[in-house]
Amino acid sequence: MYPLISTVGGFAFTLLFFFQRLVSTKLLADYSSLYVAYKIGLDKDILLLFRYFGIIPLILFFAAGICLLFSKSQRCDAAFLMIWSVLCFCLFVRVQTHGQQHLLMYAPAFMCMIILVSGRLEANLHGSKQYTTALTAAGMSLIVSLSPFIPRIQPASLQELKKPTMLPSFSWSPPKRSDAITVVGLLRYLDSLGAKGLHVGLLASSFTLNQDMLLNSEASLSLPRVSDTPRSYLVYLPDVDQRDGWSDALFKCDILAVADPPQTHLGEENQAVVVLPAKDLLSGEGIGKAFRRLDKSFSLDGGVTMYIFEKTRELTDAECENLRERFQAAH
């Protein structure tokens, strides 16, 4: 008992006295408020589970767990795996709607359940029954494994998910965009500006264009880099109000790439940090008075045009404060 108490006490002491910022900003943060913009609805969480796991595999998972509850040697393991999965789901949806990457937290439970069931079947079935069961399981695994390789039209966002599917309905084949090479052209143009020592910011955060999409555009098309310029010139700008908050990094940018119309993935009401400065630049008001639009532009899918703005003078304190106040007023 003493080793346990000393370990917990030492860990608590270290956190409280050496990592107070971690405790106050991360461990004690109200994530439900920070990620409120990502709460799309419980129905989308359920549809996403069906999309990536399928109704039949989910039913088999819990059916197998219930059957294993009748085995003394595996009862605790089966109960733990089912409770773990349900608890993870319930706790996560209190904060936000699942993204596909978040579903990985359920994968260990599925893998462990398969191992438990396989061991149970091998121990209790013999002869033709064992062969038939193994063949059925292998066939089901093959169907589930091959399903993602079937080309399908993929939804552009969670909002487009409408109905559940019996088997996994996602596809490894990525969506094809007619403007993909244009995004690469935008990145390479910004590289040329960054090579001059200019700081560049991107005001766009949607499924049409965002910073991650921009930075990965060359690699996603297996295209080589044509510039050796380190991409540290690209300034990270916040894009979700509650999660990221305000940042003065915007005011340090010499170049701003702005989407018209302003691009958001959570709605303007949740991304004023993107929309307000974008509208200023497009209209020439507010901080837009300190920038001029260059002749270069890039046309993307969905009628979106990327314009490039160059700072012609330093922003005044009044212009900066006005934008901050409008952002605060939006919340």
Mean pLDDT of the chain: 86
The pLDDT score that the predictor gives to residue 211 is 94
Give how far Cα 47 sits from Cα of 24, 32, 145, 146, Å: 35, 21, 19, 20
Whole-model pTM above 0.75? Answer: no
Section 75-101 average pLDDT: 90
CA distance 246 to 171: 37
The pLDDT score that the predictor gives to residue 300 is 96
**Amino acid identity at 109:** A
Segment holding 201, helix H or strand E:
strand 200-203
Question: Does the structure show a pLDDT above 70 at 34?
Answer: no
Q: Which two tokens stand for residue 127?
A: 């002869």
Q: In the chain, what percentage of residues exceed pLDDT 90?
A: 48
Q: Which two tokens stand for residue 153?
A: 């039209």
